[in-house]
Structure formats: structure tokens, C-alpha cells
């Protein structure tokens, strides 16, 4: 029997095997996580709240099932945490915002219900940039999360709490959301694995919306296998989300064993140019070389409209967000300013409840949709989006996946970019195109900078090509131990 | 200038709630009158994270309306968000259809007073969700979201109407069509059938349209006329004084007999329409559209009744009431089209009278169409007289009692057996030989005496027509 400390350090895939082999119980795994959280999260602030009581009940039930040989899935008994963007019935859900402080949803998000049906043990809600708007978790109304590799730096965002919790081994698996890179970028900055599925692969029902045509739910874990288990549990059509796809699921677990020789990787020249930190580049190129050793071919490609992606993204995403956030008006739930007329109530409630970045984006989004500007901005941005999608479609006629750095730099210091929103936006330059095109993307740890900060390698695939991405990611992981490195904490 | 020197130009927008069981984007019940905020869920409450899921029945009803009204049903239509803040709009936007609606063009068939059909053009029909209801009191306002997200079709008419009268007829015709289709209950007072009027005026003969004003809060047919006439007069007065008409929305106040500008509409609202990202475009197959059945419409029923020999007045009476026309259709379906006139007569006579007396409720009738036909058959066979038939029908319609039973209970059976009648005829004539001679000598008026005596002998149950004929024959006529 492993010691409590060791159990917490097991990546999700290994923990699932240990639970199946009954060398570890769900209650032990949970206790190990909670102990580590108690020890370390005071410094990191990855969690906004814990659901210890219900987790203990769930763990006990899981052990009961295992004893009877009736596990619900490979995830049965595995502790999992949720970005605070997922509605969980009876549990405060804030989306990192003061306007939802104290809000308790009366229903579960579909992915939450599916995790419960798979037997996962939900242990708490994780910190995030307010309404998923940000790349550093500094926009949380409840204080930032620290990067486990260097607590003076951000873990990235908006799923910063998720990435930090996984990397610090506070929990083996977490769910995040990715609208412009919000799973992949923090995964890269924290040295864990994060997958953004194809748009429509996973239900958005119960996920507090930022940008409806871009948001996707995705798994984060220290190992590729863990990500595959989580994806299998949550993916699939949902009648409640009519943008979810009817296409059947692949067997993600068996994709991990697939051979990758013969696959071709596209290397987009636009993603290896100015602004890319040389140490990050070196780590990524080393990762590419490892895949080449496995028989993967390389091919230089061009995504000529990629330079316009950030601009198009910030027009489309903010437009949709300005509409999605209109419901936060103090009338039915959440914060309400106690003040005079209806208009005053609206204005005061939102002024008090929303942070600066959210206000900025609502204003921008309202502007680009307004009469006289819709054609020049929103419509045009959607056209650029179509061009970007075409670029990828053309590329995928010649390659099976596209490889690049996940981010241009490693984790940056807290406060460094928060005064310059545009600089913050540019951090998404390699991740945003996949969101605009609705394509799946995964970030895997591929090395460290001299300063000891993680670097991430990103693979982007064809629509519903998650299996190929998982195969390639696993092939890379097999030859490295980056994912096994432990940040030096407490 | 007199008001009559101006030509009114009127276009009507109707919002009709669809009679689906559940709401447009969630399975909540649409029934009216429930306890506030009990027919709600995360979706129609606009809770964070909730998403819309389209109700197929609503689409079928919208297609039905489109086909009935001669529209081009679009194979592809797109959902849009109409963004505005108001407490009865929980998401802060309404899901509607903007650039690409489900139906384009079309017309409302208006049955004119002279029986001709005028086709008043439509712009479009689209689907959208209803808002909740606000209740304002002195100490605050309350919102009931039971109505939030109930399916609506918005039927937009072209500005082809030229008087309050035409507007009223158009509205009545459209309402009737929707009732025939079974997709709306036509209730103006409860708000399931709502009408806004766009009114402008211009000098007669002018081509350019005047500035239009939107009138809201018109919840009866009487008020339609009143509101429009008021507005025409108000605009005429303005123009006569040299003042321009302002483009605005005005509320109709029937008690004060005036229209008032709505405070919040000083500037036009910018709804910032954009395609709804949570719903894919609505794709309809040709098979789906073809499969939606449209029943005969009021003007078609009217023409059929006329062809069956029904008078214009009776035909109009029947056609204007969905229940009456449905009853007529049911009975003639069994009894055959030839019975059309007879059934119509029954409906505008006995049926209507019983309804007005409160003895018959066509919503839950106690009788069946077959029973009516049975009475007709008894009458045709001579088993009951036509007077008796009316009495039997009235009883059957009101109570649903079997016709044969009613005939028996009321002793209304008529003697039509020829030999039985002949026997009586012979007996009567034998009793009055003197009168017989007088008759044969030319006093034909004695026929009544003989027939009357025979009828008395038969206790009034003789078949009058037969009796008459037999008597004549015996007398040698």
C-alpha cells in the first residue's frame, strides 16, 4: 500500500489502474488530495471552495462498488475538480465573478452529471479569470492563483486554477474550458496536459457561457491517459445542447497505443517567428524531433491568415459575450444593487458586480454589434474566421496534425501584463486559431526553460481528430519524463 | 384639409401564441393561468449555463401557418438574438428570426362582404419566443416568467390596408384562419393573439409614404378601429398644422380615448441582431414541409357551402365559427355532400339556438354526428313528421339521447304505413257520405275536413303528406 503522499502524486491514468487493482482505495486517494490541498493551497489559491462532505460520501460509495466488482468506469473513485464555470447543483458557482458570489445553481452541467455517472469524486471548484476572460487568472474577483513552478508568476488562464491544481498534484484530474486557449495555455505554463476538443464534441449545457461559438469543455491531467479517461467520460451528444455533435465517440483509450509512424506533422511557419521565446522554441523543437524519431514525417505549411486570428477572435468573442452576459442584471439571481429605478439597478448591479476586463469586453462586444458597425466588424471578423478555417482545411489535405509552441513565452510574473490588456491578448496567438476553426488541440509538457519554467508543445488536429492527437501526445510522452517532474512546493 | 383628404396606410403585425404543449426552447408547460413562476426551468429563466433546445411541434405549426397563408416556406432559416434589457426578458435577449425567417411573402384571404376574396399581402412569418409578464404596482414591479419562451409566430402584413375597417376585417380573417389551423386560440383579451398597428397618412394621390407610428396595446377588435381612427385623426391634425409626424411607438388608452407616446421609445432601440450561436440554422426537408397538412380555410369552406345551395348569410354564419364549420364538415362527411344545405339549416337554426340558450356546448357535445343523421333518416322514411324531427333533434343535440328512444319517449312516431292509413281514410269517408258527394261535386275545401278527421282518428300521428295523397286518391282526384 503506497503512502498517502505517494498516492497524491500518481497521475490520473496510474491512479485509475491502482484503484482497479485495489492497491489504493477511493477514500485513500481523496484523503491524500485533501491533505495536500490543506498543506499547499493556502499559497497557491487554486481552489475557491471544497466539497469535502459530498466527496467523502462519493468515495465511500465508489469503494463499495469496487468491492462488489461493479465500477462505473475507469474514473470510478478518481478525485476530479471543476473550474468554477461549471454549474454544480447545490454548490456555489461564481465563474470567478463577484456578480455570482453566493449563486447556487439548481442543476448540474451535463459534463458534471456525466462525471458523477462515471463515479468520479468531485472535490471542489477551481479559480479562474472572471467569466473565462483572461490569460493569467489575475482577473478573478477572488484573487489570483500562483504558478506552482514559481509562485511569483501566473499559472496562465482562464483555467489557471485547474492547471495549477493538477500540476501541484492537488488533484489528478480537472475540467477546464477553452475559448481562445484557456485550457492549453495554462496547461503549457504549468507543465501538464490539456485538451480542447473539437467544437461540439462535448456538451456546453450548464457551462456558464463566455463566447457560445468558441467555448469548449476539456480535460486536464498530468498524463495523456488521464486526459483520455476524462474525455471518454464527458464527450458525446447532448439533446440539451443543440450545437453538440451526433458523431459517435472514438475509443480514446486504445488511441494511446496506436502507432504514429507514417503520420505527417505540419509545421506552420507563421508560428515560429517573431515574439517566440528562444528557450520555448528549443523545447518545442526537441519535442518535434522526438516524434520524428518515431517515424512521424514533417512538412512546412503556411496558415496565411493566422496573423488576423487574434483580431477576429476579439471581435467575435466579445460580441457573443456582450450578449451572454446581459442576463446578469440583478433581477433573478446573483448580486443586486439596492437602488432606485430599474435603469439605476441595472447600471449599479453590473458596475459593482463585474471586473474591469469583463466590462472592457462587454463594451467592445456591444460596439462591434451596434448599428452601423456590425458589417465592418462582426460580419467581417466572421468572414476572416472562415478564411482561417479554410487555411486549416487546406493544410489537413497534406498533414495529419499541426505542431507548434502552445505559447510564445513561459509563465510571466504576476502583474506584468495586467496593466496592458493588448499584451495579454497576444499571449493567445498560437491557440486562438484552433478555436476559430473549431478544431481540437492538445498541449503537452515538452521541456523547461533555463529558469525552470515549463514549456508546452501544441498539436492541432482535424475535426473530431482527438484520437490522432492523443496518439501523438502519448508517443511523445513515452519518450520523456517532463510530465513526471514535480514543482518544488512546501 | 379634411381627414378624408388624407389616405391612411396601415400595416398590421400580429403575434400569435402557438398551441404547443411545451415552450419553444424547453419542455416547460405553456398552459395559461398557473401559479407565477411555476412553469419554468433553467432555460426559460435564463439561468447561467442554460441552452435552448428547439421544439419540433412549434416548427410544424409555423409551417402550417405558412402553407395556409400562401407563403414560401424556407428550407433554411436562421435564429437571431434580439438584444434588449427588460425584467420580463430573462436572458437580456429574445431568440427570434431576423434576416432569414421561416416564411416569406404570402397573403391573408379576407372574405369580403360581397363574398369575394381579397388577398392582403404579407411580408413574412417568423418564429420567436414570448417574454414573461410584468405586473406593476405602486410599491414595485413583479415578473412572472411562466410565459417566458412560449412559442410565437409573428405575422407581418404589408402596409396594404387603407382604413380601420379594412384593418379590422384583415385581423378577423387572420384570426379565423389560425383557429381553423388549430394553432392559436384567437384570444385577444388573454393576450394569446396580439396586434400592433403601423399607421401613416399621406395626401391622396401621393406616392411617398408618410412617417409611420406604431400603435400597441390593442386588445379587442373594437379597439382596433377606435385606435386607428384616433391615430389617423391625430396625424391629420398635425400635418394640417404644418407639424411633422414623429416616428414613435404609442400606447392606446381606450378609457381616455387617446394614444400616448411611450416614454422609453424616445430613441429607436438598437437591438444589435446577430445569428444565434447556440442553435444551428433550421433546415427543413421538402418531405417535412409536404407532410404538414392544411385543412380547408374559411373562404374555401364558404365557397363549398354556397355550392351546396346554402345562402350567403347562413354560409357566413357557419364559416365564422370554427365549431360550427367543424360540425358541418363532420356530418356531411358521413351523410354526403348533398346533405350540405340541410345540415347548414340545422346548424344556423336549432344548433345556434340551443347554444344561445345555454343548452348546448360544442366544446364538449353530448351528441354525435351519427345521431343527427339517424334523425334525418327517420324523417326521410316518414317515421316522424318534420315537426317531430325538429323536436327530436333538439333533444338529441342537448342530451345525446338515442333518437329512437326520444321518438318513443315522446310518442312522436308517425304512422306512414299505407294500408293502416287507407283503413282510416276509408273509415272516415264511409262515415260522411254526404260530404264526400259535396266534395266530388266541387267543394274541394272539404279535403281539409276529411284529412283533419282522419288525423284526429290517428291521434295526430298520421303522416300528413301520405294521408293527404291517399285521401285525394280515394276521393277520386
Segment A227-258, tens digit of pLDDT:
999 999 999 999 999 999 999 999 999 999 99
pLDDT band of residue B265 (cuts 50, 70, 90) is very low
- A381-390, A432-441, B181-190: lowest mean pLDDT where? B181-190
Looking at residue B263, what is its pLDDT?
A: 57
Looking at residue B433, what is its pLDDT?
A: 87
Please state, in angstroms and rounded to a whole number, the distance separating the CA atoms of residues B79 and B99: 9
Helix (H, G, I), strand (E, B) or coil at B18: coil
Q: Which three cell numbers stand for residue B263?
A: 416614454
What is the dihedral angle through the alpha carbons of B226, B229, B233, B238, rounded to the nearest 10 degrees? 90
Determine contact, residues A285/A183, Cβ cutoff 8 Å: no
The partner residue sitting opposite A332, judged by closest CB among B51, B90, B278, is: B90
Percent of chain A with pLDDT over 90: 95
Residue in A359, A369, A357, A358 with CA at minimum distance from that of residue A315 = A369
What end-to-end distance do the CA atoms of chain B give, in Å? 77
Determine contact, residues A10/A18, Cβ cutoff 8 Å: yes
For residue A105, list chain B residues with Cβ-Cβ distance below 8 A: 42, 47-49
Q: Average pLDDT in the B186-208 region?
A: 92
How near does any CA of chain B get to the CA of A327, in Å?
4
DSSP string, A12-28: HHHHHHHHHTTSS-HHH
How near does any CA of chain B get to the CA of A174, in Å?
19
Collect all residues with Cβ–Cβ distance below 8 Å to A443 and sequence separation of at least 6: A183, A184, A185, A187, A188, A193, A194, A195, A406, A456, A457, A458
Kindly determine whether residue B272 and residue A93, on different chains, have CB atoms separated by under 8 Å: no
Containing A356, the helix (H) or strand (E) segment is helix A356-369
How near does any CA of chain A get to the CA of B46, in Å?
7
Give me the residue label for grid cell 446573483.
A334
Looking at residue A488, what is its pLDDT?
A: 92
Report whether the peptide linkage leading into residue B401 is cis, meaning its omega lies within 30 degrees of zero: no
The chain B residue lying nearest A245, using CA atoms, is B280
How near does any CA of chain A get to the CA of B78, in Å?
14
pLDDT band of residue B34 (cuts 50, 70, 90) is very high
Kindly determine whether residue B54 and residue A333, on different chains, have CB atoms separated by under 8 Å: no
Please state, in angstroms and rounded to a whole number, the distance separating the CA atoms of residues A264 and A465: 14
Half-sphere exposure of B156 (CA within 13 A, CB side): 14
The partner residue sitting opposite A326, judged by closest CB among B42, B92, B270, is: B92
Kindly determine whether residue B53 and residue A209, on different chains, have CB atoms separated by under 8 Å: no
Give me the residue label for grid cell 348533398.
B338
pLDDT for residue A202 is more than 80? yes
Q: pLDDT tens-digit profile of A129-142?
A: 999 999 999 999 99
pLDDT band of residue A4 (cuts 50, 70, 90) is low
Q: pLDDT tens-digit profile of A45-75?
A: 999 999 999 999 999 999 999 999 999 999 9
User: What is the number of other CB atoms lying within 10 angstroms of the CB of residue B325?
Assistant: 26
pLDDT for residue B436 is more than 90? no
- The three state secondary structure string of B397-458 is HHHCCCHHHHHHHCCCCCECCHHHHHHHHHHHHHHCHHHHHHHHHCCCCHHHHHHHHHHHHC
Q: Average pLDDT in the B280-292 region?
A: 97
Kindly determine whether residue B47 and residue A105, on different chains, have CB atoms separated by under 8 Å: yes
Q: pLDDT tens-digit profile of A155-180?
A: 999 999 999 999 999 999 999 999 99
Is the confidence metric ipTM above 0.90 for this complex? yes
Please state, in angstroms and rounded to a whole number, the distance separating the CA atoms of residues B213 and B247: 5
For the full predicted model, state whether its pTM sits above 0.90.
yes
Half-sphere exposure of A412 (CA within 13 A, CB side): 19
DSSP string, B337-348: GGGHHHHHHHII
Give chain A's radius of gyration (CA, Å).
Answer: 21
Q: Which of A332, A358, A372, A386 to mutate to test the interface with B (most CBs of B within 10 A)?
A: A332
pLDDT for residue B2 is more than 80? no
For residue A109, list chain B residues with Cβ-Cβ distance below 8 A: 49
User: How many CB pairs below 8 A link A and B?
Assistant: 102
Determine contact, residues B259/B270, Cβ cutoff 8 Å: no
Q: Which three cell numbers stand for residue B411?
A: 310518442
Q: Which three cell numbers stand for residue A290?
A: 522526438
Q: Average pLDDT in the B393-419 region?
A: 87
Looking at residue A340, what is its pLDDT?
A: 85
pLDDT band of residue B268 (cuts 50, 70, 90) is low
Residue A443: φ, ψ to 5°: -115, 130
B36 contacts chain A (CB < 8 A): no
Let me know if A158 is a catalytic residue. yes
**If contacts are CB pairs under 8 Å, which of residues 146-205 in chain B contact chain A?**
none
For residue A240, list chain B residues with Cβ-Cβ distance below 8 A: 51, 53
Looking at residue B385, what is its pLDDT?
A: 82
Q: pLDDT tens-digit profile of A398-429?
A: 999 999 999 999 999 999 988 888 888 888 99
Let me know if A23 is a catalytic residue. no
Kindly determine whether residue B274 and residue A100, on different chains, have CB atoms separated by under 8 Å: no
Q: Which three cell numbers stand for residue B78?
A: 436562421
Q: Which three cell numbers stand for residue A80?
A: 476530479
Let me know if A116 is a catalytic residue. no
Q: pLDDT tens-digit profile of A279-334?
A: 999 999 999 999 999 999 999 999 999 999 999 999 999 999 999 999 999 999 99
Please give the angle made by the CA atoms of B332, B336 and B342, to the nearest 5 degrees: 60
Q: Average pLDDT in the B273-279 region?
A: 98
pLDDT for residue B264 is more than 80? no
Kindly determine whether residue B48 and residue A105, on different chains, have CB atoms separated by under 8 Å: yes
Looking at residue B384, what is its pLDDT?
A: 86
Looking at residue B164, what is its pLDDT?
A: 94
Average pLDDT score, chain B: 92
Determine contact, residues B105/B74, Cβ cutoff 8 Å: no
Amino acid at each position: 500500500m503506497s503512502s498517502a503522499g505517494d498516492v497524491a502524486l500518481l497521475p490520473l491514468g496510474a491512479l485509475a489502474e491502482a484503484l482497479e487493482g485495489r492497491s489504493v482505495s477511493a477514500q485513500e486517494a481523496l484523503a491524500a488530495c485533501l491533505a495536500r490541498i490543506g498543506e499547499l493551497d493556502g499559497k497557491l489559491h487554486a481552489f475557491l471552495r471544497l466539497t469535502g462532505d459530498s466527496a467523502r460520501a462519493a468515495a465511500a460509495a465508489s469503494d463499495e462498488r469496487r468491492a462488489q466488482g461493479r465500477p462505473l468506469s475507469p474514473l470510478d473513485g478518481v478525485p476530479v475538480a471543476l473550474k468554477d464555470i461549471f454549474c454544480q447543483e447545490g454548490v456555489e458557482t461564481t465563474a470567478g465573478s463577484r456578480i455570482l458570489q453566493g449563486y447556487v445553481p439548481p442543476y448540474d452541467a451535463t459534463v458534471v452529471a456525466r462525471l458523477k455517472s462515471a463515479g468520479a469524486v468531485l472535490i471542489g471548484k477551481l479559480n479562474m479569470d472572471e467569466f473565462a476572460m483572461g490569460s493569467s487568472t489575475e482577473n478573478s474577483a477572488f484573487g489570483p492563483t500562483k504558478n506552482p513552478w514559481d509562485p511569483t508568476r501566473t499559472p496562465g488562464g482562464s483555467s489557471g486554477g485547474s492547471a495549477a491544481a493538477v500540476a501541484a498534484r492537488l488533484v489528478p484530474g480537472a475540467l477546464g474550458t477553452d475559448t481562445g486557449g484557456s485550457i492549453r495555455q495554462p496547461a503549457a505554463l504549468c507543465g501538464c496536459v490539456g485538451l480542447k476538443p473539437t467544437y461540439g464534441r462535448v456538451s456546453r449545457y450548464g457551462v456558464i457561457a463566455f463566447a457560445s461559438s468558441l467555448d469548449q469543455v476539456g480535460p486536464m491531467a498530468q498524463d495523456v491517459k488521464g486526459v483520455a479517461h476524462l474525455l471518454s467520460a464527458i464527450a458525446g451528444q447532448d439533446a440539451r445542447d443543440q450545437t453538440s455533435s451526433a458523431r459517435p465517440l472514438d475509443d480514446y483509450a486504445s488511441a494511446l497505443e496506436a502507432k504514429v509512424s507514417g503520420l505527417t506533422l505540419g509545421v506552420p511557419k507563421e508560428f515560429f517567428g517573431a515574439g517566440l521565446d528562444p528557450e520555448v522554441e528549443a523545447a518545442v523543437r526537441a519535442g518535434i524531433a522526438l516524434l520524428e524519431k518515431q517515424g512521424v514525417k514533417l512538412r512546412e505549411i503556411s496558415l496565411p491568415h493566422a496573423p488576423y486570428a487574434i483580431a477576429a477572435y476579439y471581435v467575435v468573442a466579445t460580441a457573443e459575450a456582450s450578449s451572454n452576459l446581459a442576463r446578469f442584471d440583478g433581477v433573478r439571481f446573483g448580486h443586486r444593487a439596492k437602488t432606485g429605478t430599474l435603469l439605476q439597478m441595472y447600471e449599479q448591479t453590473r458596475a459593482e458586480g463585474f471586473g474591469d476586463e469583463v466590462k472592457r469586453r462587454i463594451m467592445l462586444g456591444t460596439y462591434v454589434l451596434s448599428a452601423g458597425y456590425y458589417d465592418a466588424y462582426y460580419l467581417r471578423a466572421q468572414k476572416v474566421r472562415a478564411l482561417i478555417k479554410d487555411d486549416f482545411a487546406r493544410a489537413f489535405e497534406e498533414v495529419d496534425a499541426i505542431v507548434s509552441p502552445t505559447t510564445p513565452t513561459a509563465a510571466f510574473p504576476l502583474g506584468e501584463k495586467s496593466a496592458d490588456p493588448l499584451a495579454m491578448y497576444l499571449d493567445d496567438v498560437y491557440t486562438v486559431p484552433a478555436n476559430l476553426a473549431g478544431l481540437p488541440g492538445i498541449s503537452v509538457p515538452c521541456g523547461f526553460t533555463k529558469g525552470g519554467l515549463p514549456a508546452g508543445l501544441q498539436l492541432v488536429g482535424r475535426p473530431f481528430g482527438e484520437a490522432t492527437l492523443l496518439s501523438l501526445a502519448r508517443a511523445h510522452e513515452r519518450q520523456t519524463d517532463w510530465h513526471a517532474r514535480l514543482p518544488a512546493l512546501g | 384639409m379634411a381627414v378624408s383628404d388624407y389616405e391612411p396606410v396601415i400595416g398590421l403585425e400580429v403575434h400569435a401564441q402557438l398551441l404547443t404543449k411545451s415552450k419553444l426552447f424547453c419542455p416547460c408547460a405553456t398552459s395559461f393561468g398557473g401559479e407565477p413562476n411555476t412553469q419554468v426551468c433553467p432555460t426559460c429563466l435564463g439561468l447561467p449555463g442554460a441552452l435552448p433546445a428547439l421544439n419540433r411541434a412549434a416548427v410544424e405549426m409555423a409551417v402550417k401557418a405558412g402553407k395556409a397563408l400562401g407563403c414560401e416556406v424556407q428550407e433554411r432559416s436562421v435564429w437571431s438574438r434580439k438584444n434588449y434589457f427588460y425584467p420580463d426578458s430573462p436572458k437580456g435577449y429574445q431568440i427570434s428570426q431576423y434576416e432569414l425567417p421561416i416564411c416569406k411573402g404570402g397573403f391573408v384571404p379576407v372574405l369580403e362582404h360581397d363574398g369575394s376574396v381579397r388577398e392582403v399581402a404579407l411580408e413574412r412569418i417568423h418564429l420567436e419566443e414570448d417574454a414573461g409578464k410584468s405586473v406593476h404596482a405602486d410599491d414595485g414591479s413583479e415578473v412572472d416568467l411562466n410565459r417566458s419562451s412560449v412559442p410565437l409566430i409573428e405575422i407581418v402584413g404589408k402596409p396594404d390596408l387603407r382604413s380601420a375597417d379594412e384593418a379590422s376585417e384583415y385581423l378577423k380573417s387572420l384570426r379565423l384562419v389560425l383557429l381553423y389551423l388549430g394553432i392559436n386560440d384567437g384570444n385577444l383579451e388573454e393576450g394569446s393573439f396580439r396586434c400592433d398597428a403601423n399607421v401613416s397618412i399621406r395626401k391622396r394621390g401621393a406616392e411617398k409614404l408618410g412617417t409611420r407610428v406604431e400603435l400597441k396595446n390593442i386588445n379587442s377588435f373594437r379597439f382596433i378601429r377606435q385606435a386607428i381612427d384616433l391615430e389617423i385623426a391625430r396625424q391629420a391634425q398635425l400635418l394640417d398644422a404644418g407639424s411633422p409626424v414623429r416616428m414613435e411607438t404609442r400606447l392606446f388608452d381606450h378609457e381616455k380615448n387617446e394614444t400616448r407616446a411611450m416614454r422609453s421609445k424616445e430613441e429607436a432601440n438598437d437591438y444589435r441582431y446577430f445569428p444565434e450561436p447556440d442553435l444551428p440554422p433550421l433546415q427543413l426537408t421538402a418531405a417535412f414541409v409536404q407532410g404538414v397538412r392544411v385543412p380547408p380555410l374559411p373562404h374555401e369552406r364558404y365557397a363549398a357551402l354556397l355550392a351546396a345551395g346554402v345562402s350567403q348569410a347562413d354560409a357566413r354564419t357557419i364559416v365564422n365559427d370554427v365549431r360550427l364549420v367543424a360540425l358541418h364538415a363532420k356530418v356531411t362527411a358521413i351523410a354526403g355532400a348533398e346533405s350540405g344545405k340541410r345540415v347548414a339549416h340545422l346548424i344556423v337554426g336549432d344548433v345556434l339556438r340551443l347554444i344561445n340558450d345555454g343548452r348546448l356546448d360544442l366544446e364538449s357535445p353530448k351528441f354525435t354526428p351519427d345521431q343527427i343523421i339517424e334523425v334525418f333518416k327517420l324523417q326521410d322514411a316518414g317515421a316522424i313528421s318534420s315537426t317531430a324531427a325538429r323536436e327530436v333533434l333538439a333533444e338529441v343535440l342537448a342530451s345525446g339521447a338515442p333518437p329512437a328512444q326520444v321518438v318513443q319517449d315522446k310518442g312522436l312516431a308517425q304512422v306512414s304505413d299505407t294500408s293502416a292509413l287507407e283503413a282510416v281514410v276509408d273509415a272516415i269517408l264511409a262515415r260522411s257520405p254526404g260530404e264526400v258527394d259535396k266534395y266530388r261535386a266541387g267543394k274541394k275545401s272539404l279535403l281539409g275536413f276529411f284529412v283533419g278527421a282522419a288525423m284526429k282518428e290517428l291521434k295526430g300521428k298520421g303522416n300528413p303528406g301520405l294521408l293527404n295523397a291517399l285521401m285525394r286518391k280515394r276521393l277520386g282526384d
